[in-house]
């Protein structure tokens, strides 16, 4: 599928959810969708204006994550109707954001274990930061993102799973790339 078409469809669905959430009186959720639209446009602008090559389909993965969260999760209520939706997005979100960030970083190490630890640590740190962000939202905005210690612990475990999968993907792609140039 054409990359521009994927971008157009994803941004359209996120904007549709923003408007739909706003019309239905979900102002905080529509604000969240607006922030997601702005962040995605910012990512697209920076990568295009700088002529950056984004590895691992990082931009597309994050756009799909945004659709999963804003359109399917919030607007179509999958967070409420599918019990595991939030957990899936914790793993997928950490996976996709880690791979996107790896496009901006360059590692010189040829030691696979070191690379694995670095990538896994990056993803795990992102997951922890997301949990802290959810906590702050709950305190400041009176949202109900966290549902107790068990929920937070399971979120962290799934964030680590996403980190682990991102590290494996990174090492696999790095291995394939090295075999091509040798």
Q: Write the DSSP string, 65-84.
A: HHIIIIIIIIIS-HHHHSTT
Pick from 71, 61, 56, 73: nearest CA to 119: 56
Helices 85-102, 58-66: crossing angle, 10 deg rounding = 150
Contact between residue 9 and residue 32 where contact means Cβ atoms under 8 Å apart = no
Q: Which two tokens stand for residue 8?
A: 């157009």
Counting Cα atoms < 13 Å in the Cβ hemisphere of 118 gives 16
- CB count within 10 Å of CB 143 equals 14
Contacting residues for 118 by C-beta, under 8 A, at least 6 apart = 107, 109
Average confidence score pLDDT of the chain: 88
User: What does the pLDDT look like over 85-131, one tens digit per residue?
Assistant: 999 999 999 999 999 998 888 777 778 888 899 999 999 999 999 99
pLDDT the model gives residue 176: 57
* Range list of H helices, 24-148: 27-49, 58-66, 78-81, 85-102, 112-140
Contact between residue 129 and residue 101 where contact means Cβ atoms under 8 Å apart = no
Contact between residue 15 and residue 37 where contact means Cβ atoms under 8 Å apart = yes
User: What does the pLDDT look like over 10-61, one tens digit per residue?
Assistant: 999 999 999 999 999 999 889 989 999 999 999 889 888 988 877 768 888 9
DSSP secondary structure code for residue 148 in this structure:
S
- Give 138 or 176, the one with higher predicted confidence: 138
What is the Cα–Cα distance from 67 to 71, expressed in whole angstroms? 5
1 falls in which pLDDT band (50, 70, 90)? low
């Amino acid at each position: 599928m054409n990359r521009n078409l994927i971008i157009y469809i994803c941004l359209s669905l996120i904007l549709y959810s923003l408007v739909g959430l706003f019309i239905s009186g979900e102002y905080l959720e529509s604000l969240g969708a607006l922030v997601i639209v702005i962040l995605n446009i910012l990512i697209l602008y920076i990568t295009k204006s700088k002529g950056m090559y984004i590895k691992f389909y990082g931009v597309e993965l994050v756009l799909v994550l945004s659709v999963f969260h804003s359109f399917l999760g919030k607007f179509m209520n999958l967070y409420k109707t599918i019990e595991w939706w939030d957990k899936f997005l914790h793993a997928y979100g950490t996976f996709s954001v880690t791979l996107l960030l790896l496009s901006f970083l360059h590692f010189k190490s040829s030691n696979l274990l070191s690379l694995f630890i670095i990538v896994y640590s990056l993803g795990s740190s992102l997951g922890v930061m997301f949990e802290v962000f959810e906590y702050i939202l709950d305190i400041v905005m009176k949202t109900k993102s966290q549902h107790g210690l068990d929920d937070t612990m399971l979120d962290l475990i799934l964030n680590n799973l996403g980190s682990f999968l991102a590290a494996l993907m990174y090492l696999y792609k790095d291995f394939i790339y090295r075999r091509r140039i040798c």
